[in-house]
A and B are shown apart, each in its own frame.
Chain A
Amino acid sequence: MGAFLYGVSLQWKLDIRSKTLLITCYIVPLLFFVIMGGIFTSVMPETKYTLIQSMTVFSVTMGALIGLPPSLVEIYSSDIKRVYKANGVPLYLGAALANISAYIHLFLMSFILYIAAPLAFHAELPENPAMYFTSLAVFIAVSLSIASIIGLAVKDPAKTPMFSIIVFLPSTMLSGIMFPMELLPKAFETTGKLFPASWGYKLMTESVFQFENLMPLLLVFILAITVCTILLRRIDQ
């Protein structure tokens, strides 16, 4: 356990040293929050009721999908994995540590938004904070599991951002955080439901627990973990 905790703290430090993760987990989401928060609340004042949730969904989706895959590609598409394997470090460790560290960063970023939104834009706090943070915890885990598939499946570091963007763009554009899903064309609305961001947003904006919003996230999570396990086994061989 000591080795694992040391690994988590080390990965946390590595993520801070890596400018990429700082940019994708903190700088860009904060910038987006400052600009879009100002625009949303002045154009549509009613968005103050869902501002924390929409900004959080954007930040988590971006931090996970754009921030995590490069760390995994660095480990699993290079000689690092061979060094780990050759010296008795299990292959899953790199993925586990990168995920846990990214989870902490994303939770921290979400908490910053939770505190900053009411102060900066008079955003309303969620009615049920306990349920909000539980939903957030689930959504971060699901987003990271999808990001892990990209990080483990893509071999070329140059192509990683391309695959991340392919998932990131529809996730944010069709999830309902920019425009209400009901206003989208039917095909886009249906497509949006394929991405966890839309279910995460619904789950976080509800004041009463809705199992039908949690179910798709759990299914995606189980599926993603299964795919990641298969990919890790392939890499190991």
Chain B
Amino acid sequence: MTEAITISNLTKSYGINVVLNGLDFCVQQGEIFALLGVNGAGKTTSLECIEGLRKYDSGNITINGVMGIQLQSASLPGHMKALEAVKLFAKWNKTHLDQTMLDALGIYEFARKQYYQLSTGQKRRLHLALALTRNPDILFLDEPTAGLDVEGRLSLHEQIRQLKAMGKTLILASHDMTEVENLCDRIAILSGGKIAFIGTVEQLGETIGRHYNITIQTDRRIQKYVSDNIGSSLLSLLLQYKEREESILDIQIDRGSLEQHFIKISKGV
């Protein structure tokens, strides 16, 4: 696999506040990669340095391909219509309007609406379309589904998957762990200006340890347990319930969410 983005030893400080302290990571071509971190971890600064929107102090950034950027906080002149904006950006970038892409994003539903009349979801879709007008190989999506309802969120997830299927590399910054878990091939967790973890969601679970949540519902109550050894724990729990003569109605076991793992890594637990 070829690397779409290579970051080495990236540093950035604001005064005495060191935000990026020797950041190193690579993003492979064609993958969906998520950058995670608690507020102030340096996620947005990293993205903006890579995107060329912010100057960095030292380090190297290598980008193989054209970038398209959907910013988290974005705006357009209030009286500009959606399709006019797409045409302006496409003309300026000397690319042709991809009707299929616009159709897939549902731009034609609100093509003649002025920007100030658009809903949050429509604005997000429009800014994604603008990012795609450069026909980018690498697409940056900063909190792409923030403020969207469930339907809008699912629709955008589908579009992100389609973009991956088209061979595009996607770099995502998100606070929505379910989204990251469902969409991303690999994730990187930022902590203290450095990469605290990089790998797949499964690898994250293995790094933290096999961590199981057990929920047992009986005819009297519902109780939750956490265990690192599911085999022995479950057997022991079942024996305890038998001794107490409680009838078990339901047992649920899950491996702990990405959110729980993320918090552990971010806090250095």
Chain A residues with a Cβ under 8 A of chain B: 2-3, 6-7, 10, 13-14, 17-18, 71, 74-75, 78-80, 82-83, 85-89, 93, 237
Contacts and interface: CB of A to CB of B under 8 A. Distances in A.
B77 interface: yes
B112 interface: no
Contact of B87 (A6, A88, A93): A6
Name A's interface SS.
Answer: helix
Given A17-B114, A86-B69, A87-B68, A10 B74 contact: no
Nearest to B131: A87
Interface string B148-186: 000000000000000000000000000000000000000
B130 A80 contact: no
Q: Top 4 nearest A-B pairs by Cβ distance?
A: A86-B69, A3-B91, A17-B79, A79-B75
Contacts of B55: 237
B267 interface: no
B53 A82 contact: yes
Contacts of B74: 79, 82-83
B92 A10 contact: no
B43 interface: no
A102 to B, nearest CB: 14
B75 A83 contact: yes
Given A85-B53, A87-B69, A87-B134, A80 B91 contact: no
Contacts of A79: 71, 73-75
A6 B78 CA distance: 18
Contact of A80 (B53, B69, B75): B75
B85 to A, nearest CB: 9
Interface residues of B, number: 28
**Residue of A2, A7, A10, A93 ringed by the most chain B CB atoms within 10 A:** A10
17 contacts: A2-B91, A3-B94, A6-B88, A7-B88, A10-B88, A17-B79, A18-B79, A74-B77, A79-B74, A82-B71, A82-B73, A86-B51, A86-B69, A87-B93, A88-B134, A89-B89, A89-B92
Interface string B240-266: 000000000000000000000000000
B127 interface: yes
A93 B134 CA distance: 17
B222 interface: no
Contacts of B45: none
Contacts of A3: 88, 91-92, 94
A146 B69 CA distance: 34
Contacts of A13: 84
Contact of A86 (B53, B84, B87, B88): B53
Interface string B43-70: 0000000010101000000000000110
